[in-house]
Amino acid sequence: EDQVTQSPEALRLQEGESSSLNCSYTVSGLRGLFWYRQDPGKGPEFLFTLYSAGEEKEKERLKATLTKKESFLHITAPKPEDSATYLCAVQALGTKIIFGSGTRLSIRP
């Protein structure tokens, strides 16, 4: 069964303190791995798509990486406005897109 697990569930950082969020997955043939950001009371907003092991994508203070079993979302020198829930999702064979339960990130000024 396709499965996506994110850790930690919650992470509190001081402004400027870099860290990483983890997304491990078990799927029968990965077609794509996605990262989303979700603010309270809003729908998720797309950040990145990764297709194959070794691939990396960057956007401002965020960098996503992919291996054969997991993906990391690295946050460098975060600011309070980076506080949100970060969701990982995978698409295996077929058309379903399955989400993990997310990591709630809080950045203190």
| Per CB under 8 A, 28 contacts another protein | no
Which range, of 11-19, 56-64, 66-74, 85-93, touches another protein by CB under 8 A? 85-93
CB of 15 to another protein, least distance (A): 27
Smaller CB distance to another protein: residue 77 or 97? 97
Residues 28-47: b if buried by 16+ CB within 10 A, e if exposed: eebeebbbbbeeeeeebeeb
User: Looking at 26, 46, 58, 59, which residue binds another protein (CB under 8 A)?
Assistant: 46
CB of 32 to another protein, least distance (A): 5
User: Looking at 29, 43, 54, 109, which residue binds another protein (CB under 8 A)?
Assistant: 43
Per-position DSSP letters for 30-92, written without gaps between them: --EEEEEEE-TTS--EEEEEE-STT-EEEETTEEEEE-SSEEEEEE-S--GGG-EEEEEEEE-
Give residues in contact with another protein (CB under 8 A): 6, 9, 31-32, 34, 36, 41-46, 49, 87, 89, 91, 94-102
